[in-house]
Structure 1
Amino acid sequence: MMRGGKKEITLKRYKQLFESLYPQLCVFADKYINDLDTSKGLVQEVFVKVWEDQTVFQNEKHRTNYFYKVVKDECLNYLKTKHLLKNRIFLN
Structure 2
Amino acid sequence: MITSEDTAMLSALTKDNSLVAYQYFFMKYYKPLCLKASTMLGNMDEAREIVQKIFIEVWKTRQYQEIEHAPGGFFYQIVDARCRQLQEAALVTAQQYKATCPPCETGPALVPTSITTPLIMAIER
Task: Report TM bin, short chain.
Answer: 0.7 to 0.9
Residue in structure 2 matching 1:43, options 14, 36, 51: 51
- 2:76 is aligned with 1:58: no
What TM-score, normalized by structure 2, do the two folds share?
A: 0.63
**Structure 1 position 9, deviation (Å):** 2.7
Task: Structure 2: give runs of 5+ residues left out of the alignment.
Answer: 1-13, 101-125
Q: How many residues align?
A: 85
Instruction: State the superposition RMSD in angstroms.
Output: 1.3
In 1, the alpha carbon distance for the partners of 2:36 and 2:88 equals 17
Name the amino acid aligned to 1:58: E
Other-structure match for 1:3 = none
Residue in structure 2 matching 1:86, options 70, 88, 94: 94
Q: Which runs of 4+ in 1 moved over 3 A?
A: none
Greater share of strand residues, 1 or 2? 1
What TM-score, normalized by structure 1, do the two folds share?
A: 0.84
Which structure has more relative contact order (CA 8 Å, sep 6+)? It is 1
Task: Work out which of the two has the higher radius of gyration on C-alpha atoms and give 1 or 2.
Answer: 2
- 2:23 is aligned with 1:24: no
Name the amino acid aligned to 2:84: L
In 2, the alpha carbon distance for the partners of 1:9 and 1:17 equals 13
Percent of paired sites with the same residue? 21
